[in-house]
Structure 1
Amino acid sequence: MSFRSFLEDLRADGVLEETHEHVSTEYELAMRATGRGPMLFHNADGHVCCINILGSRELLARALRMDARNLARDLSAVGFDGHVREVDSSQFQENILEPDLMRLPVLRHFRGDGGRYITSGIVVSRLDDRINACVHRLMVLDRNRLAARLVPGRHTHQMYSRAIETGRRLPVAIAIGVDPVVLIAASTRVPENKEFEYASALRGDVVEVVTLENGVPVPHAEIVLEGYLTEKRAPEGPFVDITGTMDIVREEPVIEITRIMMRDDAIYHALLPAGGEHRMLMGVPYEPLIYREASKVVRVRNVLLTEGGCTYFHAVVQIEKQEEEDGLKAIQAAMAAHGSLKHVLVVDTDIDIHDPRELEYAIATRVRGDQDIYMYPNVRGSTLDPRSVDGMTTKVGVDATAKLDRLWKFRRVVRPW
């Protein structure tokens, strides 16, 4: 499914809200999109812009053609052995322009933002034979420069550091408006060089790429920016991150754009910070990682990163309990799979993990605080957690499973809701 065919699919089902009235890209569009479903603005300061197209679990599952209630299980079964084919051209090459980021309807989302931000662009980088594709937030500095937030230790940062150490710039391309499945794949932790292969495996079809002048392969897109990550740095931020709170200002690498390419009638894809689309793409790809890791030690039925936990910090692991220690094993495995987790709840198969009342019921009836709650103080968590100090926090695991030696006490006869 292409980017445009996905939008057409949403339109055909009446899911896509459209407006032709003028909307400003300075705060107004983000304000109007907050709390809404998929939207297509035909006049965002003279441009066409869509937002929230993957803003719920159901929309994400729609793009993947999977069951929304079992994404962790279904995604965990997909390998990284798809096929990528290089082609000579793409529709994004219909217009090849001098670098001028003011041509794009890049949004300023919230008051207090450090600037306008590209939020849905896949940054593809290449260093010799290493190719990486992932999503980075990109703050517009001027007509041809962006400040890129690179998390230390991640693949792009590793490649960038190596390039600078050897006196080179890192060639990059930024693809905006791609097949949603490719965007999901680029948002997922996969083996090195495997993002496009994973996208192919997810969609069950070949992923096509075009190699740019700087040697970087990019998938079909509405808009592509070509350039280089340089040794120069600039202040990046503040930025509203997944928690809905402001992230700090950092000195980050500068991307110098050398060319802009776009379709004649390009549709710009914006992604609302801390909105549903942000949380789906950043959080849900961790669910299959937790599922796989926990399945090594217990029988896992399902995994969910909850909306109240920003679809990032809180995991629920549903297990078929075989031994009394299974709850603790699942807690430890989940934390190992997703290092930013703060709280893990383990429940039995009779608990509907998609119903917050059921989760609270499990805690109310199956948890004894002095025996079933495990605390891990002063451990590495996430700098996105406002309660952490330099990323250090206390993690908590809660075993809300029934005791095997007295199951009769926990068997429900009536479910009042």
Structure 2
Amino acid sequence: MTESVLDYMIRLGRAAREASRVLARASTAQKNRALQAAAAALDAARAELVAANELDLANGRASGLDAAMLDRLALTPKVIDGMIEGLRQVAALPDPIGAIRDMRYMPSGIQVGKMRVPLGVVGIIYESRPNVTIDAASLCLKSGNATILRGGSEAIHSNQAIARCIQLGLAEAGLPAACVQVVETTDRAAVGALIAMPEFVDVIVPRGGKGLIERISRDARVPVIKHLDGICHVYIDVAADPEKAIRIADNAKTQRFAPCNTMETLLVHQGIAEQVLPALAAIYRDKGVELRGCQRTRALLGEGVLAASEEDWSTEYNAPILSIRLVDSLDEAIAHINRYGSQHTDAIVTENFTDARRFLTEVDSSSVMVNASTRFADGFEYGLGAEIGISTDKLHARGPVGLEGLTSEKYVVFGDGHIRT
């Protein structure tokens, strides 16, 4: 009799729960050995990874995937290098598990503190980017969590090839294969099962399009760590250094178009617009970026700038399109960001310390930057080794979610025969 999708997922969930208990007591050296061995296996399997990825890319092109999706799907030599480096960097990070802090004596004589512990089993649901398989597996492994990975059907061959390398690493370290499991069915019912198994799964992390994340947030019976949109802003203040402003606003939009930390709206103070916008417009046009501007932006830049609609201010393009708005004050810029932004990443370019402090305080986003490109909002760039995703939630984890975001704390109490009177 053929196993149903539900029975298959229950089997994965039960195995993950059992593996999580083994992993929770594994030593730091054992976890690091698995990570280093997986890195070596990836390095040795470059040809196999590329061959598997070529199958996915060919299928993606045949099914009409757009350029942004194909870019996310590609396992280039640089992406493989990044996966290997990510594993090694996570292995080099301090192990958070078991750390005890704030130990103190109470008047009763007992000692009370907090110990950092794994969450247990983490389910990751993601689209297109096969390198997420490594990011998620490495961070879950180092933080003592078993993980169930459900990648998109468009990356099935790539994910399975990467999973084989991870399994070699686990075997080398003497850890159960079920510490990291990649869902092998592309049936969408697997997602429905994964997000509705609180007895086996402790948290879900979705990475992908807004539709996927909205569905999971709506239907999950397990807590979800997520962000819906990446509507990121750069605000060029009246007190900005024009050279810095041009460099940052160029990089924030054009370094890559697809990522969630790419700028989608540029806000410019009216008082500095003539110094920076014409030069920026020329750069954007040279790089094929379509510009959509407010009335004053169009008056300044002339033909070639489309009229921005109300919808543009709240759109994540993931494409070479940029909306531009001129504002009369820092207050207006902050109000725009807090109204239209997605609480992901926003930056100010300014030499005015007071304006910078106000922006940091009043912009309600998970990453807020001064004189830096929004493209830095990334676990690797933040020194987390890698990230399992970006959270714009306010509970548990916010911003790039690394090792600490995949752990919790419990109270620990030491006594010596103490009883409560």
Greater share of residues in strand: 1
Which structure has the higher relative contact order (CA within 8 Å, separation 6+)? 2
Q: Which of the five TM-score ranges fits, normalised by the shorter chain?
A: under 0.3
Greater share of residues in helix: 2
**Based on CA coordinates, which of the two structures has the bigger radius of gyration?**
2
